[in-house]
Amino acid sequence: MDDRRGLTGARVLVRRLDATPDLGAVAAAAPGDVVWLDSGLPDGAPDTAHERARLSVLALTDGPFATRFRHEDRRAVVDVPPAAGRWFGTSRTEDRGAFAVLDDLLDRTPVLEAPVPGCDFALGWVGFLGYELGRESGGPDRTADGHADADLRFVDRAVVVHADGRAWALTLVTDDEPAASAANRAWSEQPHAPATRDGAPDATRGLPAAARGRVPRGAYEAAVEACRAEIREGNAFQVCLTTAFAVAPVGREARVAARADRHLDEYLRLRRADPVPFGAYLRLGPLRVASRSPERFLRVDADGTVVAEPIKGTRRRDPDPARDAVVRAGLEASAKDRAENVMIVDLLRNDLLRSAVPGSVHVERLCAVETYASVHQLVSTVSAVLPVGASRAAVVHAAFPPGSMTGAPKSSATAIADRLEGAPRGVYSGVVGYFSADGSVDLSVAIRTLVTVLDERGAERSRSFGAGGAVTWSSVAADEADEVETKTRSVFGALGVTADW
């Protein structure tokens, strides 16, 4: 135990659950905000993907120690309940950068041991860091539109499910706060297995929606050519160019007819259609985030081993097995896609070297093809070792935003993309995941992600879906636009949304 943090007997109380809970049902029944980090794999997924999908975490924010950190309009807001004041101080607003405040909060967080072998989540901070925080690393000076640039919660209650079906309820107790600890002990003894929702009526059926591209397809293709011109001039090697589709909010009558948790119902449809290692559903204040990401940004083990697994190179699967094999082989043989991936691997090697022990950065695998329910993709793995006591916030800051969503070199590529896109990306292109109290971190890249912002009445103010791809000198504008359409189908297809651009 670290006495510098003023703790007496702080620990994780763990209870093995008798049955595997339906985390969707638990999320629906939760009274407050939730962060559901939802891992899954389709049948026949590659062996290399199983490690990434071994754990699902449903973090609840209604506990007595639950603390909130959000960064909005360039200011940090920290909301601290009385029971957590000995660690995090008083509620406050600060004119400091997000990563500086996060570093301070992680340093104040009680050091807790992982309670279950093979489960590297010991409670801690969960939520998202949005793409616009890249301004703190020399990126474009923007803020998100309509929501915070970051929203992380220190959670003292969670339900964790292993891929093999084992499940546990985790909660925080400490001798210094007997009343709060008693409340958490009582919560731990609850069943945590409400009736399953998988067979529930689908609230989105009969609620058709259209998605309108922020720019027409022709304008996106012109932007691809502008990227190629910048590459020809030597201003970048690769630019990750994106756009967004605005999904028409559902009308009032349809909302009344739908269930109150319609966004969660939408997410359940997505996860049934497309299991991925880094699915996520976030209900955070006015935000509803439904992510079907297959990509890990960074994982840091408690012992200081760090791993990045960038994805570059994607092909839509064909329902005919013979044709699908041809598609897969074409991706594997593509010089253009391999070049995209290798450039980002080099970028990540540099990003990790800023924090890692010199000489410890290694490429474990390069341009391996992995197959999922809707796509084939090229995945690489880069690993490194951190110095003892390395700041987890500093490690993430040094590699942020994810290189697979920027291009290379990062500073010039992000400037080019920002000028051509002309709008913030928000949650999309940022990261989602956790900073565990045992020192481990696991963050996904927020791609294939539907973001909904509600107004003060709970009506949908906006709904957006970002998509894009890496532009290199060998890119063909029409092919890049086709890749955008492929990525929209991974989410829109399951929801019955029609995209028009």
Q: Count how many residues are written for the chain.
A: 501
- For the chain, list the domains and their CATH numbers: 3-500 (3.60.120.10)
Q: Does the pLDDT at position 471 exceed 50?
A: yes
pLDDT of residue 208: 57
Which residue among 132, 221, 230, 295 is the active-site one?
Answer: 295
pLDDT of residue 260: 55
Residue 107 phi, psi dihedral angles, 5° rounding: -65, -30
Contact 374, 272 (CB under 8 A): no
Quick one: what percent of the chain has pLDDT higher than 70? 93
DSSP-derived 3-state class of residue 249: coil
- Compute the average pLDDT of residues 328-332: 96
Q: How many angstroms separate the Cα of 481 from the Cα of each of 42, 468, 486?
A: 27, 8, 9
Contact 167, 56 (CB under 8 A): no
Q: Does the pLDDT at position 320 exceed 60?
A: yes
More confident residue, 479 or 260: 479
pLDDT of residue 166: 95
pLDDT of residue 2: 40
Instruction: Determine whether 295 is an active site residue.
Output: yes
Residue 220 phi, psi dihedral angles, 5° rounding: -65, -45
pLDDT of residue 3: 40
Return d(Cα 194, Cα 200) in angstroms, integer.
Answer: 13
Cis peptide before 409 (omega within 30 of 0): yes
In this predicted model, what pLDDT tens digit does every residue of 349-405 receive, in sequence order?
Answer: 999 999 999 999 999 999 999 988 778 999 999 999 999 999 999 999 999 999 999
- The residue behind tokens 């960064």 is 71
Return d(Cα 265, Cα 253) in angstroms, integer.
Answer: 18
Q: How many angstroms separate the Cα of 239 from the Cα of each of 235, 242, 415, 419?
A: 10, 9, 9, 12
pLDDT of residue 39: 95
In this predicted model, what pLDDT tens digit does every residue of 176-221 receive, in sequence order?
Answer: 999 999 999 999 999 887 655 554 445 445 455 789 999 999 999 9
Which residue among 132, 312, 421, 483 is the active-site one?
Answer: 312
One-letter amino acid for residue 77 of the chain? V
Confidence of residue 251 (pLDDT cuts 50, 70, 90): low
Return d(Cα 407, Cα 200) in angstroms, integer.
Answer: 42
Q: Quick one: CA dihedral 149, 63, 166, 196, positive or negative?
A: negative
Burial class of residue 31 (count of CB atoms within 10 Å of its CB; 0-12, 13-18, 19+): exposed
- Compute the average pLDDT of residues 290-306: 96
Q: Give pTM, 2 decimals.
A: 0.94
Q: Does the pLDDT at position 420 exceed 60?
A: yes
One-letter amino acid for residue 36 of the chain? W
In this predicted model, what pLDDT tens digit does every residue of 194-204 receive, in sequence order?
Answer: 655 554 445 44
Contact 378, 331 (CB under 8 A): yes
* Sequence-separated (6 or more) residues with CB below 8 Å from residue 398: 137, 351, 352, 354, 355
Residue 213 phi, psi dihedral angles, 5° rounding: -65, 145
Q: Does the pLDDT at position 44 exceed 80?
A: no
In this predicted model, what pLDDT tens digit does every residue of 84-123 receive, in sequence order?
Answer: 999 999 999 999 999 999 999 999 999 999 998 878 899 9
Quick one: what percent of the chain has pLDDT higher than 90? 82
pLDDT of residue 4: 37
Instruction: Determine whether 312 is an active site residue.
Output: yes
The mean pLDDT of the chain is 92
